[in-house]
Amino acid sequence: DFLEALQEVKPAFGAATNTLEMCRLYGMLDCGPRHKRILETGLALVEQVKSSERTPLLSCLIEGPSGSGKTALAATIALDSGFPFIKVVSAESMVGLSESSKCGIIAKTFDDAYRSPLNIIILDDIERILEFVNIGPRFSNLILQTLLVLVKRTPPKGRKLLVIGTTSMRNVLDSMDLVSAFNVALHAPTLNHEDMRRVMVSLNVFAPRDVDSALEILDEEMSIKKLLMLVEMAAQGKDGEGAEAVYAGKEKINLQRFVECYNDLAS
Amino acid sequence: DFLEALQEVKPAFGAATNTLEMCRLYGMLDCGPRHKRILETGLALVEQVKSSERTPLLSCLIEGPSGSGKTALAATIALDSGFPFIKVVSAESMVGLSESSKCGIIAKTFDDAYRSPLNIIILDDIERILEFVNIGPRFSNLILQTLLVLVKRTPPKGRKLLVIGTTSMRNVLDSMDLVSAFNVALHAPTLNHEDMRRVMVSLNVFAPRDVDSALEILDEEMSIKKLLMLVEMAAQGKDGEGAEAVYAGKEKINLQRFVECYNDLAS
Amino acid sequence: DFLEALQEVKPAFGAATNTLEMCRLYGMLDCGPRHKRILETGLALVEQVKSSERTPLLSCLIEGPSGSGKTALAATIALDSGFPFIKVVSAESMVGLSESSKCGIIAKTFDDAYRSPLNIIILDDIERILEFVNIGPRFSNLILQTLLVLVKRTPPKGRKLLVIGTTSMRNVLDSMDLVSAFNVALHAPTLNHEDMRRVMVSLNVFAPRDVDSALEILDEEMSIKKLLMLVEMAAQGKDGEGAEAVYAGKEKINLQRFVECYNDLAS
Amino acid sequence: DFLEALQEVKPAFGAATNTLEMCRLYGMLDCGPRHKRILETGLALVEQVKSSERTPLLSCLIEGPSGSGKTALAATIALDSGFPFIKVVSAESMVGLSESSKCGIIAKTFDDAYRSPLNIIILDDIERILEFVNIGPRFSNLILQTLLVLVKRTPPKGRKLLVIGTTSMRNVLDSMDLVSAFNVALHAPTLNHEDMRRVMVSLNVFAPRDVDSALEILDEEMSIKKLLMLVEMAAQGKDGEGAEAVYAGKEKINLQRFVECYNDLAS
Amino acid sequence: DFLEALQEVKPAFGAATNTLEMCRLYGMLDCGPRHKRILETGLALVEQVKSSERTPLLSCLIEGPSGSGKTALAATIALDSGFPFIKVVSAESMVGLSESSKCGIIAKTFDDAYRSPLNIIILDDIERILEFVNIGPRFSNLILQTLLVLVKRTPPKGRKLLVIGTTSMRNVLDSMDLVSAFNVALHAPTLNHEDMRRVMVSLNVFAPRDVDSALEILDEEMSIKKLLMLVEMAAQGKDGEGAEAVYAGKEKINLQRFVECYNDLAS
Amino acid sequence: DFLEALQEVKPAFGAATNTLEMCRLYGMLDCGPRHKRILETGLALVEQVKSSERTPLLSCLIEGPSGSGKTALAATIALDSGFPFIKVVSAESMVGLSESSKCGIIAKTFDDAYRSPLNIIILDDIERILEFVNIGPRFSNLILQTLLVLVKRTPPKGRKLLVIGTTSMRNVLDSMDLVSAFNVALHAPTLNHEDMRRVMVSLNVFAPRDVDSALEILDEEMSIKKLLMLVEMAAQGKDGEGAEAVYAGKEKINLQRFVECYNDLAS
Ligand SMILES: Nc1ncnc2c1ncn2[C@@H]1O[C@H](COP(=O)(O)OP(=O)(O)OP(=O)(O)O)[C@@H](O)[C@H]1O
Ligand SMILES: Nc1ncnc2c1ncn2[C@@H]1O[C@H](COP(=O)(O)OP(=O)(O)OP(=O)(O)O)[C@@H](O)[C@H]1O
Ligand SMILES: Nc1ncnc2c1ncn2[C@@H]1O[C@H](COP(=O)(O)OP(=O)(O)OP(=O)(O)O)[C@@H](O)[C@H]1O
Ligand SMILES: Nc1ncnc2c1ncn2[C@@H]1O[C@H](COP(=O)(O)OP(=O)(O)OP(=O)(O)O)[C@@H](O)[C@H]1O
Ligand SMILES: Nc1ncnc2c1ncn2[C@@H]1O[C@H](COP(=O)(O)OP(=O)(O)OP(=O)(O)O)[C@@H](O)[C@H]1O
Ligand SMILES: Nc1ncnc2c1ncn2[C@@H]1O[C@H](COP(=O)(O)OP(=O)(O)OP(=O)(O)O)[C@@H](O)[C@H]1O
Ligand SMILES: [Mg+2]
Ligand SMILES: [Mg+2]
Ligand SMILES: [Mg+2]
Ligand SMILES: [Mg+2]
Ligand SMILES: [Mg+2]
Ligand SMILES: [Mg+2]
């Protein structure tokens, strides 16, 4: 059963694209200019790796707090690249495997990429791939060393590779010399009130006059993930009548309920 | 013998429900408004996971001091959900297994949940599942990484999953980034004097005039577990005449005996 | 050879009772009121576990300095209980076994207890079972986790279990959350001068007028184990004439010799 | 698959020379006098090892910050030596291997060198070969001990060996007593403004009047690697029109774009 | 080859006695009253274990600085006991064995002792048996736990056992709770000037008038081991004429040479 | 391949003597009185172990900074001893072996020595044999314990053994109690200016008037190893004309070149 995990990563045309789409269950909402710039820079790197002979390997790290949309951004860049082979390396697909099996899967992913002309590899949630925990701290040095080498290894003649990493622990990766192994580092921020308003308005689940009141309740900063979860919980209603009425525009979110839900969120 | 532990977790309709009922040997007494709110929020999450398409996965952590009733609360929410598949992951059922076997059992439990439409998984006493001890500190990073990933992994299309965790070491789980992996965090408190009075009265084992005296003896705060154990010991009587007379209402607890028992309790 | 250790713990009627008796080579002398109260509380717990339906599991920790008589107390409670199955888990019977073999033996002991109606399990010298050493500190987390779970695991319907633990390292067990896993904690003290006098008098090995002088020589506090060893050494006499004359009442202990022996004792 | 890595390192005439050339994708630009002196000293050592009977073994460590051109320098010395056997030991070619397999490969490389008259072994990125990470810190002591011995082991009669190491962590290697195991240590610096101007001018991608403005933007110091990457990114242009026009001399780099790219570089 | 070490420890009548004699290559010189008292106490314990029914197990730790004669004292007590079975557990006879093999040998030695009526087991250089080193510190907890249990385990009915341990690291053993596992602890000191004079005189290798001068050169304290080695080196003479003339009484030690040798001794 | 290392250490008459000679590639130059005294003391120990019946085992540690000539001194003592069996234990001959294989080789070397009447064992670079690194610090406790025992283990009747150890980390060995396991400890120093002048003059590679100027350039202290390497590099000449002219006395070392080389030496 676990051994199956060592088998071929599924081809990008099929399941992998699905997986990428699943990183964006809500579609991509406009999260403001800072998120937009990440997409632009990402696509410039896609162009450069495609056209430059001198940089057959480019690597880019998207870092920012938990839930800030990093995986969704990486997925969007990859989907928009039009590259035939897109591969995702994540802890999710390697649950319960030994360190060396994980290294094997990662190394194989890069080897596969060396066989095709245009490739993107997403290293999603690198601290999770590294089995990092801040007590000790502990992590897999075997996997770290593998990443340190592979992120810098030039592909063979005629092959192009863009590596996109994501992490919510830039400091940790920095102290592992893993940040400087990337060519470019981009910061995915939490939303400020202006960004949140933009999202709330486009979701259209508040009565127009309630948007400001809702914002007043919230902290200065909030991740897109938390905001969307909060809206979903509040839209649900207290008595379980379901959120459909709200999303269908028939009802609006009750501010009282909104506050209650806000307090229950795990910080 | 130990290998049997790797076999299928027993179906929820049979033994599992029994096990859940065993978490509440006394039935559920009224422990006051704070405990009640946990049940309400838990059931709101049950409704949301059932009806919302956008949140096929919800997770909720019930945390609080040892013996505060967390497992009983989680069991009650699960039993009241009406979901067909309820699975409990606990250290009790994995005694003596290796870290990787435990990971295998946990991963299998989630895989099973992905096959059925409506599912609840209870991760009971997460610090115990993690084999945590505060000397070192030590714990199984293998199991931690497995939980960190599984608690956040979206189930496949059409599957719904509510994960309920319990812990008496919120700080520890926080420093492992495991609290923020849950969507919602709820606090199960020890009882205050008002809560205790409520429990004592409904048990009806004190002479009415003794309830206040009994409360005066006790600390400000006490867990429901300790209170029930204390009552049971005191009801027993010094000379081993048994507690039946007390529970049958024929006799009342002797306050002197009550104090003696109180001092013997392991803090 | 070592593998044999994994075999069935011998039945309580036979060897096990012998072993329990061997914990009290001298018979039980009167060590004063504090020791007596431990025996009384222990027997009250025996009664409760036998008669109460609500507490099929009770656990009691006897803790105190090295040699203070903890094992003898636990053995006495068990022998006096009249329970058909009494099992002792101790490091002595698991010398040289691996951590996992030890866990296997411990788990099997509890499983066996779940098959019989009335059971006592003595966990003797828990720090030794845990392979604890205060350099590091080091211990077997595997065994600790096993104990943490088993001491709290409710036996199946109709089975009753009293767990008696002993330890001379309460602080250590406390920092492992193992003390609070027990319902009741009892302190076995070293003897004070009054207790010692009681023991000396009943041994009848001093000339009456020497008892006070002997006590003056000794520290404020002394364990029963050390006191008995000291008396035995002193009774031996310098020239190896043997202690029989003393115990037979024909001779008395020489005070000079008593002091010499006292200084050689390993502190 | 991984086991193949244990096979013979490919002969220097074939793939190895290719690999060496790949360390210098841009050819060797003039990086100023400090880099030049390293090449000269390296070649003097080549001569000495060839002609002196008293020093059949010489070793030289090129150390300096990440991206300062150390590998390119080592490769150039090796290629210019004219020695028939040049072998590269690097983490890149040992991804995912166990510590002992890596030791085996390293030891075999030295054994092979003892069979041929004139040899160069490049130990590229020694901290990576050692699997070093500055958290803990952790590294493979097995590999370290192997290097400590092999770098000092005299080859058999009639065999000559020049060992060239590179590292960006001189301090770390120093505390491992590995620096003093080398006969000679040379420092490869980052470029200062004068060095950068030299490189920029010879690349001819800036309008002459822009070189000074470009330099003003940059920090005092920059590695050759970062400078070349920055130029490449900026030459790309914002709209993906490709860098060919720039390198062909038809267009010049836009300074605004240059600044933007500079900010995205992972520090 | 190493597996042979697991075979039966050789019978005491044969090789073992030889080994004990080898601990006293020079015979036993008079080292003064403090050493003498250790022998007396040791023999009193021999008597007690033989005659007392209440103490079938006695244990005695001889501790003191390196080379102070601990092993020779233990060997002398054992040889003088007249007990039929004397077994030595030492690191010397277990070189290169794994921790668990060592535990096996130790446990077997005690098991063997339980089969014979009167037994002595010498645990020589316990810190070495424990593989202790003061960096870390590191030691074998497996072996420590084995010793902690075995030193306190009562032999079966009718069997008597005296355990004699030696160590030059009392503090270390204390922090492992191993000192208090012994009943008696005796201190073997380095020699003071009076003791040294006694030894020098009985060796008769100095001119009478030189003894005082020789003593003046030496530190206040010196182990018997060092003193004997120093005498031997100095007796050798500078030009290798051999020490026979000195020991035969024909020549005396040259004081100048004595000083030179003293300075070369490893402290 | 690696397994071969477990085979018999080659007989001293053949290859081993060669190896010893290789430790002194330049022959033995006069390094001054301090080095001379080490040789004298070493030979006195050779005599003592040969003639004294009371010291069948002697051990001597030569300690001093890296490159100070320790191995050459040990080799010279051994070669001059005329003993039939001389065995060298060094990390060089055990590259890549596991800790336990190394222990096996070491133990076997001592066992072999117990079969021949007169033996010398050189433990060269003990810190390397121990796999010591000052980060952590880490080392093989298995090997350390083996050495601690073997260096003190008396050979069987009629066998004589001189153990010569070398180390450049006396402090480390001291904290491991390994220095005091040797009978004698000798210090091999770096050269002072007087020693250096002696070496320079006898090499005859400077113009007489340049010797003082050369000395002025150098630090107060320098190891013989570094001095010889420096002379060799400087003799080489800048343009690779070879050192033969210098050593043949036709040319002298250029002082300018001497300074340049001095600066490149790894400190
Ligand atoms: N621009 C967006 N529009 C709509 N939904 C978004 C957007 N960005 C992120 N999301 C949603 O927000 C949630 C969190 O996003 P994502 O998982 O990409 O964040 P993350 O930074 O990778 O989080 P983590 O730190 O947990 O890995 C996801 O459900 C994702 O679908
Ligand atoms: N509301 C309640 N009414 C009656 N009994 C209860 C109630 N809540 C808990 N109990 C009982 O109290 C005891 C402790 O409850 P529970 O095991 O749920 O606490 P916990 O917080 O999970 O404890 P732990 O920290 O040890 O896991 C159990 O015996 C349980 O049956
Ligand atoms: N009341 C008593 N009367 C007579 N002998 C006793 C009594 N209590 C203990 N002893 C004896 O004293 C010795 C020490 O007692 P015991 O082993 O029970 O102490 P302990 O506290 O368990 O010691 P440890 O800390 O070493 O486990 C034993 O030999 C035991 O037989
Ligand atoms: N003199 C040079 N001329 C042109 N390109 C160079 C020169 N030196 C280095 N480079 C290029 O710069 C980049 C970095 O050089 P190199 O890899 O040798 O640096 P490094 O110091 O070994 O880096 P790292 O610390 O990452 O190992 C490479 O792409 C290399 O081709
Ligand atoms: N009383 C004595 N008379 C003569 N020789 C003695 C005497 N005591 C010890 N020796 C000798 O002195 C040396 C050291 O003694 P021994 O080995 O017993 O000391 P130790 O304290 O056990 O040393 P270590 O700490 O190394 O184990 C031995 O060679 C022994 O034979
Ligand atoms: N007296 C001498 N005359 C000539 N050459 C010598 C002399 N002593 C040492 N050498 C040479 O100096 C070099 C260093 O000597 P050696 O290896 O013995 O030093 P070391 O102290 O053992 O060094 P390390 O600390 O690296 O083990 C060797 O090449 C050796 O041949
Ligand atoms: Mg993510
Ligand atoms: Mg619970
Ligand atoms: Mg006990
Ligand atoms: Mg490099
Ligand atoms: Mg000894
Ligand atoms: Mg050396």
Q: Give pLDDT, residue D1.
A: 34
- Active-site pick, A19, A102, A124, A190: A124
- Active-site pick, B124, B146, B166, B190: B124
Residue nearest to atom 8 of ligand 6 (CA): F69
Helix, strand, coil share of chain D (percent; to 5): 50, 15, 35
Percent of chain C with pLDDT over 90: 78
User: Distance, in angstroms, between F205 CA and closest chain D CA?
Assistant: 14
Going by the DSSP 8-state scheme, the letter that residue A266 receives in this structure is -
Q: Are E124 and E167 in contact (CB under 8 A)?
A: no
- Interface contact flag, E145 C242, Cβ < 8 Å: no
Angle, helices B193-203 vs B210-217, to 10°: value is 140
- Active-site pick, F19, F76, F87, F124: F124
Of D137, D148, D186, the CB nearest to F135: D137
pLDDT (average), residues C20-36: 87
Chains touching chain D at 3 or more Cβ pairs under 8 angstroms?
A, F
Tell me the pLDDT tens digit for each residue of C61-103: 999 999 999 999 999 999 999 999 999 999 999 998 999 999 9
Q: Are A149 and A193 in contact (CB under 8 A)?
A: no
Which ligand neighbours the alpha carbon of B28 most closely?
A: 2
- Active-site pick, B10, B50, B108, B152: B152
Q: What is the dihedral of CA E176, C130, A135, D102, to 10 degrees?
A: 80
The residue to which tokens 């839900």 are assigned:
A261
- Interface contact flag, A240 B47, Cβ < 8 Å: yes
Tell me the pLDDT tens digit for each residue of F121-173: 999 999 999 999 999 999 999 999 999 999 999 999 889 999 999 999 999 99
- Interface contact flag, C146 B26, Cβ < 8 Å: no
Which ligand neighbours the alpha carbon of C223 most closely?
A: 3
Residues with CB under 5 A from ligand 10 (ion): D 71
Reading phi first (left if > 0) and then psi (alpha if -120 to 50, else beta), residue E186 is in: beta
Q: Are F101 and F53 in contact (CB under 8 A)?
A: no
Query: Is the per-residue pLDDT at B7 higher than 70?
Result: no
pLDDT (average), residues E24-46: 92
Question: What confidence tier does E84 reach under pLDDT thresholds 50, 70, 90?
Answer: very high
- Interface contact flag, D266 A179, Cβ < 8 Å: yes
Residue nearest to atom 16 of ligand 5 (CA): E69
Q: Which chain A residue's Cα is nearest to D93?
A: A149
Q: Which chain F residue's Cα is nearest to D146?
A: F95
Of E41, E52, E153, the CB nearest to C232: E52
Give the amino acid at A214: A
Q: Which chain D residue's Cα is nearest to F130?
A: D145
> Which of C89, C91, C98, C92 is CA-nearest to residue C3?
C98
Q: Give pLDDT, residue F239.
A: 64
Distances D192 to D74, D219, E267 between C-alpha atoms, Å = 21, 9, 54
- Residues in A touching D243 (Cβ below 8 Å): 48, 51-52, 54
How far, in Å, from the CA of F24 to the mean position of ligand 6?
7
- Return the ligand 5 atom nearest residue E72 CA: 18
Q: Where are the domains of chain F?
A: 2-187, 193-264
F108 is annotated as an active-site residue: no
- Residues in A touching B51 (Cβ below 8 Å): 236, 240, 242-244
Q: Are A39 and A73 in contact (CB under 8 A)?
A: yes
Q: For residues D122 and D229, what is the distance between their CA atoms, to the nearest angstrom?
A: 25
Q: Which chain C residue's Cα is nearest to E51?
A: C242
- Interface contact flag, D266 A44, Cβ < 8 Å: no
> Which of D168, D163, D156, D159 is CA-nearest to residue D130?
D168
Burial class of C62 by CB neighbour count within 10 A (0 to 12, 13 to 18, 19+): buried
Q: Are E146 and E189 in contact (CB under 8 A)?
A: no
User: Distance, in angstroms, between D95 CA and closest chain A CA?
Assistant: 6
Q: For residues E110 and E148, what is the distance between their CA atoms, to the nearest angstrom?
A: 13
Q: Are A62 and A173 in contact (CB under 8 A)?
A: no
Question: What confidence tier does D19 reach under pLDDT thresholds 50, 70, 90?
Answer: confident
Interface contacts (C, E; CB < 8 Å): 89
User: Distance, in angstroms, between C184 CA and closest chain B CA?
Assistant: 4
ipTM: 0.92
Which tokens sit at A184? Answer: 């470019």
Pick from C133-147, D249-263, E7-21 the range whose average pLDDT is largest. C133-147
Q: Give pLDDT, residue B240.
A: 60
Burial class of B219 by CB neighbour count within 10 A (0 to 12, 13 to 18, 19+): exposed
Q: From the candidates C48, C59, C101, C178, which should be mutated to test the interface with B, based on the most B CB atoms within 10 A? A: C48
| Beta sheet of E85-90, edge-to-edge order | E85-90, E118-124, E160-167, E57-63, E184-187
Residues 6+ apart with CB under 8 A from B139: A135, B127, B130, B131, B132, B133, B176
Q: Give pLDDT, residue B53.
A: 85
Q: Give pLDDT, residue D5.
A: 38
A264 part of contact set with chain B, CB < 8 Å = yes
A2-187 belongs to which homologous superfamily?
Answer: P-loop containing nucleotide triphosphate hydrolases (3.40.50.300)
E225 is annotated as an active-site residue: yes
Distances F236 to D49, D52, F224 between C-alpha atoms, Å = 10, 8, 18
Q: For residues C232 and C225, what is the distance between their CA atoms, to the nearest angstrom?
A: 11
- Interface contact flag, C51 B267, Cβ < 8 Å: no
Tell me the pLDDT tens digit for each residue of C189-240: 999 999 999 999 999 999 999 999 999 999 999 999 999 999 999 998 766 6
The residue to which tokens 């133990």 are assigned:
F107
Q: Are A100 and B117 in contact (CB under 8 A)?
A: no
- Return the ligand 3 atom nearest residue C168 CA: 25
Query: Is the per-residue pLDDT at C22 higher than 80?
Result: no
Query: Is the per-residue pLDDT at E59 higher than 70?
Result: yes
| Beta sheet of C118-124, edge-to-edge order | C85-90, C118-124, C160-167, C57-63, C184-187
Angle, helices E193-203 vs E224-236, to 10°: value is 40
pLDDT (average), residues D35-40: 96
Q: For residues B16 and B121, what is the distance between their CA atoms, to the nearest angstrom?
A: 12
E178 part of contact set with chain C, CB < 8 Å = no
Query: Is the per-residue pLDDT at C14 higher than 50?
Result: no
Query: Is the per-residue pLDDT at C49 higher than 70?
Result: yes
- Residues in A touching B148 (Cβ below 8 Å): 91, 128
Q: Which residues pair with E184 in a beta bridge?
A: C265, E60
Residue nearest to atom 25 of ligand 2 (CA): B66
Query: Is the per-residue pLDDT at C55 higher than 50?
Result: yes
Q: Give pLDDT, residue B266.
A: 81
- Return the ligand 4 atom nearest residue D72 CA: 18
Q: From the candidates E183, E186, E187, which should be mutated to test the interface with C, based on the most C CB atoms within 10 A? A: E183
pLDDT (average), residues D113-123: 95
Of B66, B96, B233, the CB nearest to C107: B96
- Interface contact flag, A54 D228, Cβ < 8 Å: yes
Helix (H, G, I), strand (E, B), or coil: what is residue D166?
Answer: strand
- Interface contact flag, F238 D44, Cβ < 8 Å: yes
Of E96, E133, E232, the CB nearest to F146: E96
Query: Is the per-residue pLDDT at B32 higher than 70?
Result: yes
**Spans of chain F, pLDDT less than 70:** 1-18, 25-26, 238-241
pLDDT (average), residues D191-215: 94
- Residues in D touching A150 (Cβ below 8 Å): 95
**Spans of chain A, pLDDT less than 70:** 1-18, 26, 238-241
Centroid of chain to Cα E203: 21
Percent of chain E with pLDDT over 90: 79
Q: Which chain B residue's Cα is nearest to C154?
A: B22
D137 part of contact set with chain F, CB < 8 Å = yes
Question: What confidence tier does D10 reach under pLDDT thresholds 50, 70, 90?
Answer: very low
What residues line ligand 4, using a CB cutoff of 6 Å? D 23-26, 28-29, 31, 66-72, 125, 166, 168, 224-225, 228
Tell me the pLDDT tens digit for each residue of B183-240: 999 999 999 999 999 999 999 999 999 999 999 999 999 999 999 999 999 998 766 6
Q: For residues C233 and C224, what is the distance between their CA atoms, to the nearest angstrom?
A: 14
- Active-site pick, E19, E125, E190, E226: E125
F124 is annotated as an active-site residue: yes
Q: Give pLDDT, residue E145.
A: 98
Q: Determine which of A176-185, B203-212, D12-21, D238-247 has the lowest per-residue pLDDT on average.
A: D12-21
C30 is annotated as an active-site residue: no
Q: Are B255 and B214 in contact (CB under 8 A)?
A: yes
